[in-house]
Amino acid sequence: MGDGEVTTVDFEDLDPNFKYEVSKEIGGQNIKLCFNCGICTVSCPVRRIDDTYNPRRIIRMVLYGMKKEILSSETIWKCAHCLTCLERCPQDVRFAEVIEALRILAVREAEKGNLEIKGPQFSFDSIFKDSIESYGRVFEAGLLSKYMLKRRAFGFLMSFSVLGLKMLRKGKINLTPHKIKALDELQRTFKES
């Protein structure tokens, strides 16, 4: 999805109702107001770091109905939610909120087995959530090791070994997780949401 990249899409793959689906989500209400001015993209600090990130293109893809492409894309997980786009958008599209709506839809589709979510941010978020759900708090050693193993960053994981040993000796981290007292209550809350 880089700027110079040309993407061919079959008309049959487009979902004309996708923009309505997004607009029904909290934060997605104003997406159809976008008139493609590009202020969101020009203002975006993530764009300055990663020139393949293009908020205007994401909105266009939603409006065109490219549901599968955008929900399975790593792109929707790159937004830093700095809200610069929200401050500058003349149409009050609220891009960061649209991104949140897209993330929610992507997770729903993944839970149904309709798509696989890619990207390091989603991987980290899901491992973090699982840690909270399992123990009631973050188990840092488990979080880091699961994340690095999932990303296949074995060398990067090993680079933390010296720091990890120092933190372990000082009692800053544990090798085994500790559960909170009201874990069953927290797990009930997770199931209800």
Would you say residue 37 has pLDDT above 90?
yes
Q: What is the pLDDT of residue 157?
A: 72
Confidence of residue 173 (pLDDT cuts 50, 70, 90): confident
Q: Given the structure tokens 């929200």, which residue do they identify?
A: 86
Q: What is the pLDDT of residue 186?
A: 86
Q: What is the pLDDT of residue 76?
A: 93
pTM: 0.72
Q: Which of 9-13, 18-22, 29-33, 81-85 has the lowest mean pLDDT?
A: 9-13
Q: Mean of the pLDDT values across residues 123-148? A: 86
**83 or 13, which is more confident:** 83
Which residues lie below 8 Å from residue 19, measured CB to CB, with a gap of 6+? 31, 32, 62, 63, 65
Provide φ and ψ at 124, rounded to 5°: -65, -50
Q: What is the pLDDT of residue 141?
A: 84
CB 15 within 8 A of CB 67: yes
CATH of domain 11-111: 1.10.1060.10
Domain boundaries, the chain: 11-111, 120-192
Would you say residue 1 has pLDDT above 80?
no
Q: Mean of the pLDDT values across residues 172-185? A: 87
Provide the b/e sequence for 64-81 (b: ≥16 CB within 10 Å). Answer: bbbbbbbbbbebbbbbee
